[in-house]
């Protein structure tokens, strides 16, 4: 079953991290993006240097991209092991739920951003995708959009490359809605996760950045508004595991 | 209900204490505190990018002129820019709970994978507070030790004059140390910097202990295989009292091949313990001023006898 195969691909999702997008079709049609059909995109001028957050640190926007890159360069080797250890394997359930929501079928043109490894991949920038307009049926991003310097631009790009009728799906850490669980979650995040990172991967700071970046990401309602601002309609979200993660969905109509 | 409430309050206080991170200058907090943030979470900004920090460490020999404490100034500068709380460049402030978790995790991982030297280091840092204080006070009482604390020499490739060491006579400490580095294919620069010690002077003491570790290999004539490391750990355990050394000495043999255990137990450990007891504190030796001293003479001075050699070649790890 197509969805099952996608699930299998998902489980290899983070094996090797890079700013990579995965563009693949489910069995049925041959790949439609070979070679020069993508259409080159001109890189825009460098943006004005303003300040933004890197976890709880304040950095310039120019710096942030590089710092995030180094974080993921550093965690790449033990990425899967750490994901399993930190979430006790629950991240696989979250990703399965995302796929279930998507219900892809043969012929779906799917773009998965920040996906790690996959069938056919393209190196690019989420804020400036190297694809033409109105190309994909579904755009997904799982645990990636949080690390983008300009989330609004990534959302606008998502809107641009989707076909009319296309769907945007985002799986991301969000805000916990239960005060007791929130306290336990904070405790676990800040006391245990960096320790796990140090003991298993020998890298405290990357995992400190991870838990801090989660806190810096907007909560469900605010992110929903950001998606609507980018032009998506019928935007909904579903919180999972008391709001530890949320799946946001929007349509380009 | 009253009792339950009291217990909950007590538990909450204990939890807050366990998760509260050490901060030497709270009033100077400049990092903004995000609203969604619970009490147990971190309040500091983070140390700058790892690359920049490594570059700084490599370019700057940690040898401030007497009377002028350069590292403190550096911390102030970083503090002003990034928020305070860092006592030294590599410092990562940790709560009591994190230290407990780190100690347990690093102990387990070091036993599971003895090649994780960084885990041994972390274990030392998180469990060594009391022992380090005793060591520091011992160093202060000794004239040579006090000089080391004052001048803070570092044993790094950048601070060692390798050509000069190579030119020293055969049998001198410098020559033997270089030979040890070559034969075992190790470098003094592979020592990880201290991160989890919440006192700047004690951080130096443990850093010095780590850098002196190679010296001890040279003094004791022990190679860097598992057996040699365990012998050196026994010597260090007696000398320093660091829990990490004690744990390593006691549990290290679990990872050793059973064929080596008789030699270890009957000859090497007693010799190491006796030598450790006889010798004065090895952290009080200003090795950088003793490169020319013949190794034999230094061993005599410390009361370290020749190591009991096995009848055949050294056992492979």
- Positive or negative CA dihedral for A185, A14, A52, A223? negative
**From B40, B82, B106, residue closest to A199, measured CB to CB:** B106
User: How big is the A-B interface in CB pairs under 8 Å?
Assistant: 80
Residue in B closest to A56 by C-alpha: B45
Q: Does B118 touch chain A (CB under 8 A)?
A: yes
- pLDDT reported for residue B22: 52
Integer Cα distance of A155 and A170 in angstroms:
10
Select the residue from A63, A175, A198, A222 to test the B interface by mutation, using most B Cβ atoms within 10 A: A198
Structural domain includes residue B42: no
Tell me which residues of chain A have a C-beta less than 8 Å from any C-beta of chain B. 54-58, 67, 70, 74, 175, 182-183, 186-187, 189-192, 194-196, 198-200, 202, 204-205, 208-209, 212, 215-216, 219
ipTM score assigned to the predicted complex: 0.75
**Is the Cβ–Cβ distance between B32 and B52 less than 8 Å?**
no
Average pLDDT over residues A204-226: 95
In this predicted structure, what is the pLDDT of residue A179? 94
Minimum-distance CB partner of B98 among A74, A195, A202: A195
Per-residue pLDDT averaged across A28-43, rounded?
36
Predicted pLDDT of residue A45: 47
Contact A219 B116 (CB under 8 A): no
Q: In whole angstroms, give the CA distance from residue B131 to residue B205.
A: 10
The answer to whether A216 contacts B34, with C-beta atoms less than 8 Å apart, is: yes
In B18-57, the residues whose Cβ lies within 8 Å of chain A are 19, 31, 34, 36-38, 40-42, 44-47, 49-51
Indicate if the pLDDT at residue A253 is higher than 80.
Answer: yes
In a domain, B152, yes or no: yes
Q: What is the per-residue pLDDT for B53?
A: 54
A38-42, A160-164, A184-188, B182-186: least confidently modelled range: A38-42
Contact A70 B109 (CB under 8 A): no
Instruction: Name the minimum distance, in Å, from the CA of A242 to any CA of chain B.
Output: 15
CA distance A1 to chain B (A): 41
Q: Is B214 annotated as a binding residue?
A: yes
- Are β-strands A109-113 and A20-25 bridged in parallel, bridged antiparallel, or unpaired? antiparallel
| Residue B137 included in any domain | yes
The answer to whether A159 and A232 are in contact (CB under 8 A) is yes
Band (A48; pLDDT cuts 50, 70, 90)? low
Q: Which of B38, B45, B106 sits opposite A186 (nearest CB)?
A: B38
Does the CB of B91 have a partner CB in chain A at under 8 Å? no
Counting the structural domains of chain B, the total is 1
Q: Which of A70-84, A116-130, B118-132, B277-291 has the lowest mean pLDDT?
A: A116-130
- Please state, for a pLDDT cut of 70, what percent of chain A lies above it: 79
Range of the domain at B229: 73-302
Give the per-residue pLDDT at B115: 86
Mean pLDDT, chain A, whole residue set:
82
Q: Is residue B51 part of a domain?
A: no
Helix axes B200-220, B143-151, angle to 10 degrees: 120
Chain A environment of B46 (Cβ under 8 Å): 54-57, 205, 208-209, 212
Q: What is the SS3 assignment for B211?
A: helix
Q: In this complex, which of B19, B34, B37 lies closest to A191 when CB atoms are compared?
A: B19
- Note down pLDDT in tens along chain B; length 317 residues: 578 888 888 888 888 888 876 544 433 333 444 434 333 344 434 444 555 555 544 444 433 344 433 333 333 322 233 445 789 999 999 999 999 999 999 999 999 998 898 999 999 999 999 999 999 999 999 999 999 999 999 988 888 888 888 899 999 999 999 999 888 888 888 888 999 999 999 999 999 999 999 899 999 999 888 899 999 999 999 999 999 999 999 998 988 888 888 888 899 999 999 999 999 999 999 999 999 999 999 999 999 998 887 644 454 44
CB contact under 8 A, B46 and A56: yes
Q: How far is CA A222 from CA A56, A93, A226, in A?
A: 19, 25, 6
Of the listed ranges A72-76, A78-82, B34-38, B72-76, the least confidently predicted one is B72-76
Instruction: Please give the domain boundaries of chain A with CATH numbers for all domains.
Output: 51-178+208-252 (3.40.50.150)
Lowest-pLDDT choice from A19-28, A218-227, B157-166, B295-304: A19-28
- Residue A22 has what pLDDT? 57
How far off is chain B from A58, nearest CA to CA, in Å? 8
Average pLDDT over residues A115-127: 77
pLDDT above 80 for A5: no
Tell me if A186 and B40 make a contact (CB, 8 A cut-off): yes
Residue B285 lies in a domain: yes
Which position has the higher pLDDT, A34 or B244? B244
Considering only the beta carbons, identify the residue of B41, B50, B102 that sits closest to A198.
B102
B298 CB within 8 Å of a chain A CB: no
Domain membership of residue B91 (yes or no) is yes
CB of B175 within 8 A of CB of B168?
Answer: yes
Residues shown for chain A: 253
Interchain contact, B109 vs A199, CB within 8 Å: yes
Q: Measured between CB atoms, which of A67, A190, A196 is closest to B40?
A: A190
Rg of the Cα atoms in chain A: 18
Judge whether B58 lies within some domain. no
pLDDT for position B51: 53
Q: pLDDT band at A120, cuts 50/70/90?
A: confident
Q: Say if B121 falls within a structural domain.
A: yes
Residue B229 marked in a binding site: yes
Q: Are B128 and B244 in contact (CB under 8 A)?
A: yes
Residue B142 CA to residue B149 CA, distance in Å, equals 10
């Amino acid at each position: 079953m197509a969805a099952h195969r996608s699930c299998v691909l998902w489980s290899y999702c983070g094996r090797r991290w890079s700013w990579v997008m995965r563009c693949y079709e489910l069995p049925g049609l041959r790949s439609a993006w070979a070679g020069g059909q993508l259409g080159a995109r001109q890189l825009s001028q460098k943006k004005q240097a303003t300040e933004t957050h890197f976890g709880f640190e304040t950095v310039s926007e120019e710096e942030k991209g590089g710092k995030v890159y180094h974080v993921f360069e550093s965690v790449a080797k033990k990425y899967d092991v750490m994901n399993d250890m930190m979430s006790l394997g629950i991240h696989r359930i979250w990703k399965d739920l995302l796929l279930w929501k998507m219900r892809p079928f043969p012929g779906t043109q799917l773009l998965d951003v920040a996906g790690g490894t996959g069938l056919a991949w393209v190196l690019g920038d989420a804020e400036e995708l190297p694809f033409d307009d109105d190309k994909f049926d579904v755009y997904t991003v799982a645990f990636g959009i949080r690390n983008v310097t300009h989330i609004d631009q990534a959302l606008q790009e998502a809107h641009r490359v989707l076909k009319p009728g296309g769907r945007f799906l985002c799986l991301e850490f969000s805000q916990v809605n239960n005060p007791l669980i929130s306290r336990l979650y904070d405790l676990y995040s800040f006391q245990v996760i960096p320790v796990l990172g140090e003991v298993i991967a020998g890298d405290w700071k990357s995992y400190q950045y991870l838990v801090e970046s989660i806190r810096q990401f907007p909560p469900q309602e605010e992110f929903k508004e950001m998606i609507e601002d980018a032009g998506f309609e019928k935007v909904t979200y579903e919180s999972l595991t008391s709001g530890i993660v949320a799946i946001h969905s929007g349509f380009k109509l | 209900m009253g009792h339950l409430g009291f217990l909950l309050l007590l538990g909450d206080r204990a939890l807050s204490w366990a998760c509260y991170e050490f901060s030497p200058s709270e009033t100077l907090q400049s990092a903004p505190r995000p609203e969604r943030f619970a009490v147990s979470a971190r309040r500091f900004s983070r140390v700058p990018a790892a690359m920049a920090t490594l570059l700084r460490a490599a370019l700057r020999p940690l040898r401030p002129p007497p009377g002028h404490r350069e590292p403190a100034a550096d911390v102030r500068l970083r503090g002003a820019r990034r928020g305070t709380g860092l006592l030294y460049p590599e410092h990562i402030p940790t709560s009591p709970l994190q230290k407990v978790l780190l100690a347990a995790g690093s102990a387990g991982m070091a036993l599971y994978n003895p090649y994780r030297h960084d885990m041994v280091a972390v274990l030392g840092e998180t469990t060594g507070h009391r022992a380090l204080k005793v060591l520091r006070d011992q160093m202060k009482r000794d004239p040579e030790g006090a000089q080391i604390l004052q001048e803070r020499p570092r044993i790094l490739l950048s601070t060692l004059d390798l050509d000069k060491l190579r030119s020293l006579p055969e049998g001198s400490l410098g020559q033997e140390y270089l030979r040890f580095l070559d034969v075992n294919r190790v470098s003094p620069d592979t020592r990880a910097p201290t991160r989890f010690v919440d006192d700047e002077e004690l951080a130096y003491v443990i850093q010095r202990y780590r850098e002196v570790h190679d010296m001890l290999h040279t003094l004791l004539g022990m190679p860097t295989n598992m057996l040699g490391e365990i012998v050196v750990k026994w010597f260090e355990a007696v000398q320093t009292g660091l829990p990490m050394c004690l744990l390593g000495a006691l549990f290290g043999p679990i990872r050793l091949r059973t064929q080596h255990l008789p030699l270890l137990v009957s000859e090497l450990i007693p010799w190491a313990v006796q030598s450790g007891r006889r010798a004065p504190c090895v952290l009080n030796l200003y090795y950088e001023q003793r490169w020319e001293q013949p190794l034999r003479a230094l061993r005599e001075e410390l009361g370290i006898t020749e190591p009991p050699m096995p009848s055949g070649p050294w056992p492979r790890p």
